[in-house]
Structure 1
Amino acid sequence: MITWPRVACSAMSSTESIKRTLESVPSKFRGPGGAVAVVKDGELAGQHVWGYANLDTRIPITPTTIFPICSISKQMVCLVLTDLLQSDKDKAFEDALHKALHELLPEDMMANKDFTIERMVAMQSGLRDYWALTVLWGATPGGRFSIYQDAPKALKRLGGFHFAPGTEMSYCNSNFMVLSLAIEKATGQTLGDLLDSRLFIPAKMTTAALRPDTERLPAPLVGYEGSDENGYVAYQNRIEWAGDAGIQASLEDMVAYEKYIDHSSSESHSAYQKNSQEPHYLDGSPANYGFGLARIEADGMTVVGHGGALAGFRLHRWYAADKRVSVVALLNSDMDSAEVASYVLRNVAELHAKEQQEDSPNETKVEWTGYYLDEEANLAISVAHGGPGELLIYYAGEEDKVKITDSAKASSKGIKVSYEDGKLSIHRLQEGRKFAAKPLAPPEAPSDGNDSLYTGAYRSEEINSIFHCTGSGDMLYGAFDGYLGKGPAHLMKHIGKDVWWLSCQRSLDAPAPGNWTVVFHRGEDGKTIRGATVSCWLARNVQYVKKE
């Protein structure tokens, strides 16, 4: 879920105050290094770089240091896609694109009339995310993944839709990976060449390029994991990305991009003008994501942008069209780049973060904390008390903080939660998802001779994966085999009768899926386990059958 961080600031707008804001970033957001810039009214209003591209060699970051911009790539690929479609007067490209998609994806997916290109670029396709599924295909942290060897195999193993296309939104890199491959097939050109001719050259992004292999970052940049408290360690990525995240660019390139976007946003027939329009779901209700752009209403203005993440890197860009202000933040660490970008944007746009002041701390507590199960998605939910008057909801791979409003309700800008008649109801506004969840029955203690009830090997035909469950009692481990190899063992936690969490905090890519929910299914006798459903937010309802 893409959120707008709450970072306090003061109002500033002059060139000198922008300079002071940018120069304050390193002290407020400590890390190895980074680069930030502001484009206002179509011109560079200020930029600042600090720290080191490589701590060991003490080579500093400069405005020309090349960063992997990761998922910010998506909107750039969408500009090329829309440009190709708009210039396709005889629909030859569109027809070739659909033919290529038929070649890359299972036929039953393409047969669904609601599975369209616009649903794909809006993250409404219902496809499972292939990066999450690499865990179930046996990938190991730091392992290799090839676009032209491994990606086509991944697309044939996605299984069915995990929600009906057009009904809700779930972030999914599969959409952009398959579109990138299809664009290349349809045009007979590489995506890199298309980006050069249709975006980078017109936008004067002189060093930007599609460089899919993350193991070969242009020197001297190094990505770091860690913190002030634990120190920083260089991380070596070894994966390849296509149009889902494969572009690399310098701060100077991103400034040129923001100038290009500011100019394009006022052109009625530009690709960006089309792509930045508010998207909708099938039922006509507004959505907040389309064509690689997330839309967020924050402090009285609409901001459009995107973040990017890779182990050792965090990047973000926001654009407020009404105020003609862009902010770019590029970091070679795992620090929250959205907080950096929003801090700068609020100052430049002369906005004040609204502070919630109360006469006394809210000490409200609820009696319905615990574990629940979304039976449609087979995802477990944890509800726990946080700070005063606050609940922590774990569901979509991360903890969401919501404020308690009364004994049966809690909410935030992105989530509404209520409890009635023994059921938990959740509405995730940004993803358009509503569901009710039942509390999980407590885990059963192992009985005599039944200590290994869940252990064994399970097979998923739909995604071609083997799940190995080992251990005993409440200390189980889960591991997966697939076409990418034999993956590591993950610790499992018993949270309810026949329901476990499988922890995956480190995977082929960062950030990892987090906790997978494993729901074991019993046979007719009620005593033996016949199968399991494995789900995470990005890849739900993968069915496994226990081997005899």
Structure 2
Amino acid sequence: MSFDAEKVQRVLKTVPSLYRGPGGAVAVLKDGNLVGQHVWGYADMDRRIPITSQVLFPICSITKQFVSILLLDLAEKPPPSMTRQDFQAQLLARLREVVPPEFVDEGGLTVENLVDMCSGLRDYWALCTLQGSRPDTPYLLNEHNPDMLRRIRSVHFRPGYEYSYSNTNFNVMERLIEHVTKDSLGNLLTERIFGPAKMKTARLCPRTDRLPAPIVGYEGSEEFGFFPAPNFIEWSADAGLVASLDDMIAYEKYFDRRYTDPQDSYRDAITPRDYRDGAKAKYRYGLRHADLGKYNTMGHGGALRGYKLMRRYVAGERLSVVVLFNHSANASEAAGYILKQILDVSEPPPLAVQPVQQWFGSFLDPETQLSIRVLPGDAGKIKIDYVRAEETLRLVDANKAESPDIEASIDGDILHVRRFDDNRVLTAQRLNQNAGILDRSPVQGTYRCSETESTFTCEGEGEILYGLFDGCFGWGPPHLMTHLGEDVWLLADPRAMDDQPPGDWTIVFVRNGQGAVVKANVGCWLARKLDFVKV
């Protein structure tokens, strides 16, 4: 394709007005060379400090691909202290100590399952909600992490068979790397990644309440106003890096150089593998692979309350985009917008198809015990709410719809959804919304989960119920619950310790043969199928 550098700069200058907020920084590279960048707004609005290309941002979950590169580097070039021992064997041995050994011995869990997001381990930030956390609850690695890892007693799917995002994977990965190398993650990244990549100011900064000045992240909106976002969590291998736009530009040059070098093993290492059932995976070594029109892209987003970030690489065009926001605008969408404008990718027009009314309503998938809600979309489209945000599908027939990652169809009261990214097929039954709403007293009470060692209390009166979790973080806040139908409810969780909240939890109350409620199955996409027994 011909490349127009002036067009790139024009596109970048439209980003601030489309994704309005305190400030941001964006850049585009082609063939490993910078062709355009733009910074605007304020790093600190109260002090009127502007954003520059040297201001350090928390890049959050983009950290995962750096840790994955480090893992490959350690395998190829072990430190001198490890030259007589097999690196992978040591990692696996340590994995058996960090998680229950039967996960490895019987379930087949591997180190690669961790960095490929197919381990089956539930996300520990989501689990914090079930432990009574609030959005501003402190989480310290030395104080809280051992107990969180100790409570890993089951997986929510068989390792290696499907995808589910989990920060726990990289939390565990750090425990393995530091134990085997006898060195800190920060030192290893500085020596083996930041140095070769010429990322002069990037570093590990696990404490989110101690981010380097002057950057401030903001919650809020233009309508309600912007205010500094409180963060008090400590993370590391899952999301703990800080980097400037200049650092990320250097990284994109490094990434392109390694990816295009035929002598470098990196390109093969990050090529997605198959799941154990033979289906093709789309996440590999901290990188999610996704199509943009006819183009294959790979990248990763990041988020913390007050920050949204994204980097994406179009392999066939050697084209990179970096987006850094210190507010809650959608950085992934912004990166997609920039690439679509540069590559002239347009959305196919919707077909003149009207959805059948059977689409709309609430459904329950019996295998995952998660609810699925189907809503009307724009013309020729529907929306499915299953993960942490609504997903839009184009209608291809009155009872069939699709997106690049999903195929769905409706057959009366049965909703069929094939999720290619997750490698999961959902067969969900429509919930009767009028059933189970007359008498709410049977579901009220206190429930306890032996795995999380926490309690769930359901209480309320009249037309509203509240769900409350108490655990190692103390008494959690009341969460509003919404009845979907029968004995299935939603529990709202719009703000959590991590920026990306679990979203709505599905609460499925279970009755015994006499009709008495005996337990509640609690789950979300990040952490499914946890039984709370009524006490």
Q: TM-score, normalised by structure 1?
A: 0.93
CA distances 1:9-34 after superposition (whole Å, capped 9, x unpaired): xx983333322222222223221110
Distance in 2 of aligned mates of 1:510 and 1:143: 13
What is residue 508 of structure 2 aligned with on the other side?
Answer: 519
For residue 303 of structure 2, give the secondary structure of its aligned residue in structure 1.
strand
**Structure 1 residue corresponding to 2:103, chosen from 102, 109, 112:** 109
For residue 374 of structure 2, give the secondary structure of its aligned residue in structure 1.
strand
What is the letter of the counterpart of residue 194 of structure 1?
L
CA distances 1:163-209 after superposition (whole Å, capped 9, x unpaired): 11111101111101100121111111100000001100111101000
Does residue 375 of structure 2 align to residue 384 of structure 1?
Answer: yes
Distance in 1 of aligned mates of 2:344 and 2:163: 29
**Structure 2 residue corresponding to 1:407, chosen from 389, 394, 398:** 398
Does residue 358 of structure 2 align to residue 334 of structure 1?
Answer: no
For residue 344 of structure 2, give the secondary structure of its aligned residue in structure 1.
coil
**1:445 CA displacement:** 5.4
Q: Percent identity?
A: 43
Q: Tell me if the contact between 1:474 and 1:493 (Cα under 8 Å) persists in the aligned partners.
A: no
1:44-443 superposed matches below 5 A: 44-88=34-78, 90-270=84-264, 272-348=266-342, 350-356=343-349, 362-420=353-411, 422-443=413-434
CA distances 1:296-316 after superposition (whole Å, capped 9, x unpaired): 121211111111011100000
User: Which sits farther off after the overlay, 100-109 or 243-252?
Assistant: 100-109
**1:113 CA displacement:** 4.6
User: Which sits farther off after the overlay, 393-402 or 361-370?
Assistant: 361-370
Distance in 2 of aligned mates of 1:344 and 1:495: 39
Distance in 2 of aligned mates of 1:365 and 1:241: 46
Does residue 481 of structure 2 align to residue 497 of structure 1?
Answer: no
Q: TM-score, normalised by structure 2?
A: 0.95
Distance in 1 of aligned mates of 2:286 and 2:275: 16
What is the letter of the counterpart of residue 498 of structure 2?
D
Distance in 2 of aligned mates of 1:501 and 1:545: 18
CA distances 1:32-75 after superposition (whole Å, capped 9, x unpaired): 11011112112221211100001111100001000000010000
**1:357 CA displacement:** 6.4
**1:84 CA displacement:** 0.8
CA distances 1:514-546 after superposition (whole Å, capped 9, x unpaired): 1100011112211x1111100100000001111
Distance verdict in 2 for CA 1:445–1:176, change over 3 Å = closer
For residue 272 of structure 2, give the secondary structure of its aligned residue in structure 1.
coil
CA distances 1:353-399 after superposition (whole Å, capped 9, x unpaired): 244166xx644443242111111111011122222332221111221
Distance in 1 of aligned mates of 2:265 and 2:125: 28
Q: Tell me if the contact between 2:350 and 2:395 (Cα under 8 Å) persists in the aligned partners.
A: no
**1:271 CA displacement:** 5.3
What is residue 453 of structure 1 aligned with on the other side?
Answer: 442
Distance in 1 of aligned mates of 2:366 and 2:435: 20
What is the letter of the counterpart of residue 455 of structure 1?
Q
What is the letter of the counterpart of residue 526 of structure 2?
L
What is residue 6 of structure 1 aligned with on the other side?
Answer: none
Q: Tell me if the contact between 1:452 and 1:473 (Cα under 8 Å) persists in the aligned partners.
A: no
Distance verdict in 2 for CA 1:347–1:400, change over 3 Å = closer
Unaligned runs of 5+ in 1: 1-10
Q: Tell me if the contact between 1:211 and 1:246 (Cα under 8 Å) persists in the aligned partners.
A: yes
What is the letter of the counterpart of residue 367 of structure 2?
E
Q: Tell me if the contact between 2:522 and 2:530 (Cα under 8 Å) persists in the aligned partners.
A: yes
Distance verdict in 2 for CA 1:269–1:530, change over 3 Å = farther
What is residue 520 of structure 2 aligned with on the other side?
Answer: 532
Distance verdict in 2 for CA 1:535–1:157, change over 3 Å = same
Distance in 2 of aligned mates of 1:147 and 1:192: 15
Distance in 2 of aligned mates of 1:189 and 1:330: 30
Q: Tell me if the contact between 2:350 and 2:380 (Cα under 8 Å) persists in the aligned partners.
A: no
Higher share in helix: 2
Does residue 472 of structure 2 align to residue 483 of structure 1?
Answer: yes
What is the letter of the counterpart of residue 42 of structure 1?
G
Distance verdict in 2 for CA 1:389–1:323, change over 3 Å = closer
Q: Tell me if the contact between 1:506 and 1:512 (Cα under 8 Å) persists in the aligned partners.
A: yes
Q: Tell me if the contact between 2:296 and 2:314 (Cα under 8 Å) persists in the aligned partners.
A: yes
Q: Tell me if the contact between 2:436 and 2:487 (Cα under 8 Å) persists in the aligned partners.
A: no
User: Which sits farther off after the overlay, 269-278 or 415-424?
Assistant: 269-278
Q: Tell me if the contact between 1:208 and 1:253 (Cα under 8 Å) persists in the aligned partners.
A: yes
What is the letter of the counterpart of residue 80 of structure 1?
L
For residue 322 of structure 1, give the secondary structure of its aligned residue in structure 2.
helix
**1:150 CA displacement:** 1.2
**1:274 CA displacement:** 3.4
Distance in 2 of aligned mates of 1:363 and 1:283: 36
**Structure 1 residue corresponding to 2:21, chosen from 26, 31, 54:** 31
CA distances 1:209-240 after superposition (whole Å, capped 9, x unpaired): 01100111111111011222222111021101
What is residue 541 of structure 1 aligned with on the other side?
Answer: 529
Q: Tell me if the contact between 2:381 and 2:393 (Cα under 8 Å) persists in the aligned partners.
A: yes
What is the letter of the counterpart of residue 501 of structure 2?
A
Q: Tell me if the contact between 1:168 and 1:432 (Cα under 8 Å) persists in the aligned partners.
A: yes
Distance in 2 of aligned mates of 1:318 and 1:262: 11
User: Which sits farther off after the overlay, 367-376 or 304-313?
Assistant: 367-376
Distance in 2 of aligned mates of 1:302 and 1:317: 14
Distance in 2 of aligned mates of 1:388 and 1:347: 23
Distance verdict in 2 for CA 1:388–1:354, change over 3 Å = closer
For residue 453 of structure 1, give the secondary structure of its aligned residue in structure 2.
helix
What is the letter of the counterpart of residue 506 of structure 1?
R
Unaligned runs of 5+ in 2: none
User: Which sits farther off after the overlay, 269-278 or 232-241?
Assistant: 269-278
CA distances 1:420-477 after superposition (whole Å, capped 9, x unpaired): 2531111011111102111113344566xx5521111111001211111111354111
Distance in 1 of aligned mates of 2:436 and 2:174: 50
Q: State the superposition RMSD in angstroms.
A: 1.8
**Number of paired residues?**
531
CA distances 1:297-350 after superposition (whole Å, capped 9, x unpaired): 2121111111101110000011112211111110101101112222222344x3
For residue 47 of structure 1, give the secondary structure of its aligned residue in structure 2.
strand
Distance in 2 of aligned mates of 1:520 and 1:159: 22
CA distances 1:254-300 after superposition (whole Å, capped 9, x unpaired): 01100101111123453532332122211222111010001112121
